[in-house]
Amino acid sequence: MLQVENLTVYYKTIRGYVQALEQATFKIADGEIMGLAGESGCGKTTLGHSLIYLRPPMNYIGGRVVLDGQELPIWDMEKMREFRYRHVSLIPQYAMNALNPTRKIGRMIAELLESRGVNYNDVLPELKRRLDLVQLTHDVLKMYPIELSGGMKQRTVMVVSTLLNPSLLIADEITSALDVSTQKAVCEMLVEFRDRGFVKSTIIITHDISILYQIADSILVMYAGQLSEKAPSEIIFRDARHPYTRLLIGSLPKVGVRYREERLRGIPGSPPQLLNPPPGCRFRERCPVAFDRCVEVPPFLEISPGHFVACWRAY
């Protein structure tokens, strides 16, 4: 169970703070796969990374992160080391580049485990079982990364990242560089890992919302550093209450929709600068239903069980 309360992270630049993540408050239950969606620059990667590796120029401003009843010292890189990999793990965006090219896969895993005080040979039987599960031969342990295809590397990294059964897994854009057929297999593996209890909670960061509809239990939508809406996937797609979520879903081309029959519309305008963002709801300028109340920041409230939204029009 992950609880995030008022987490605020800024980027320090010469011209001031870029307010990339503002007062994020949400929970993820055990066994929940939460999708984190939004456009580029909305703070989704900042949020994901701040839970595991908050490095400069990211600056911790405030808030608490509690994982399984224990507070994570996310502001302290050294103290976080004890939690990283063991309790919180990450599948990075470019898994193909995440492997050390000068080490055989097995040796690299051994070194990684050793740095966490775990004996490689104790874990080896489980490692082999998991390689079987993702349909990789045990020979990959004796291979160099260059000998594997993109999809195989991706699966290897997934197995390595979850080997110590972390409580929280963060998957950052793991499908964006893959072909549709491989994409589907990778996504289904994430579900399988959850079902088998390798990980408790999963956060999938992606810009591809249709992937989330397939595998996520809930979806958190962000806009310009603020949380807009969190709800079970079905509700996000069928009954979203935040105007941004609705417009975003409405702008997605789907198989079965053609421009001649149904012309989709984008959202006019562009997100605000986060260096000195305007006060209040940051979607205000592009919002078709904005009114004078929107100059105040709307609170992220639960309007029905499991459905949170930050919009004055929705309460």
Partner 1 sequence: MLSLEHVTKIYRLGAFGLQKLIAVRDVTFEIGEREIVSLIGESGSGKSTIGKLILRLIPLTSGRICFEGTDVSTLNGRSLKEYYRKVQGVFQDPFASFNPIFKADRIFRMIREEFYPGMNAREWSEKVEGALRAVGLNPPDVLNKFPHQLSGGQLQRFLVARALLLDIRLLIADEIISMLDASTRVDVLNLLADLKARGLSILFITHDLSLGYYISDRAVILYRGRIAEMGPTDRVYNYPLHPYTEMLMEAVPRLDRKWDEEIRVEREGELASMAVTGCVYASRCPKAIDICKEQEPELKEAEAGHFVACWA
Nearer to partner 1, 146 or 180 (CB): 180
| Separation of alpha carbons 32 and 35, rounded Å | 10
If binding is defined by CB under 8 A, does position 134 make contact with partner 1? yes
149 interacts with partner 1 by CB under 8 A: yes
- By beta-carbon proximity to partner 1, the closer residue of 78 and 261 is 261
Binders of partner 1 among 23-42, rule CB under 8 A? 39-40
Rounded to the nearest 10°, the torsion over CA 311, 280, 203, 306 is: -30
Vertex 126: Cα angle to 103 and 2 (nearest 5): 95
| Contact range with partner 1 by CB under 8 A, out of 101-109, 118-126, 181-189, 300-308 | 181-189
Residue 185 binds partner 1 (CB under 8 A): yes
- Count of alpha carbons within 13 angstroms of residue 109, beta-carbon side: 28
Pick between residue 55 and residue 254 the one whose CB is nearest to partner 1.
Answer: 254
Smallest distance from partner 1 to CB 253, Å: 4
208 contacts partner 1 (rule: CB under 8 A) = yes
Q: At its nearest, how many Å lie between partner 1 and the CB of residue 283?
A: 11
- Using the Cα atoms of residue 195, residue 199, residue 202 and residue 206 in order, give the sign of their dihedral: negative
- The least CB distance from residue 277 to partner 1, in Å, is 17
Please give the torsion angle defined by the CA atoms of residues 238, 241, 246 and 248, in that order, rounded to the nearest 10 degrees: -110
Q: What are phi and psi of 155, to 5 degrees?
A: -70, -40
What per-residue string of b and e applies to 248-285 under the rule 16 or more CB within 10 Å gives b? bbeeeeeeeeeeeeeeeeebeeebbebeebeebbbbbe
Among the listed residues 117, 255, 288, 292, the single contact to partner 1 using CB under 8 A: 255
Please, which residue, 154 or 167, has the CB nearer to partner 1?
Answer: 154
For partner 1, the binding residue among 94, 123, 214, 284 (CB under 8 A) is 214
Candidates 19-27, 74-82, 121-129, 265-273; binding stretch for partner 1 (CB under 8 A) = 265-273
- Which member of 111, 147, 188, 302 binds partner 1 (CB under 8 A)? 188
Decide: 131 and 137 in contact? Cβ < 8 Å. Answer: yes
Residue ranges of alpha helices (H) inside 87-143 are 105-115, 120-133
Tell whether residue 160 is a contact of partner 1 (CB under 8 A).
Answer: no
Q: Rule CB under 8 A: choose which of 11, 75, 144, 237 binds partner 1.
A: 237
Q: Are 168 and 149 in contact (CB under 8 A)?
A: no
| Binding test (CB under 8 A) with partner 1, winner from 77, 252, 275, 295 | 252
| φ/ψ (deg, to 5) at 138 | -70, -15
What is the smallest separation between the CB atom of 178 and partner 1, expressed in angstroms? 9
Q: What span, in angstroms and rounded, lies between the C-alpha atoms of 43 and 180?
A: 26
**CA pair distance 231, 34, nearest whole angstrom:** 9
Q: Which residues bind partner 1 (CB under 8 A)?
A: 39-40, 134-135, 149, 151-152, 155, 179-185, 188-189, 192, 207-211, 213-214, 237, 247-249, 251-260, 263-267, 270
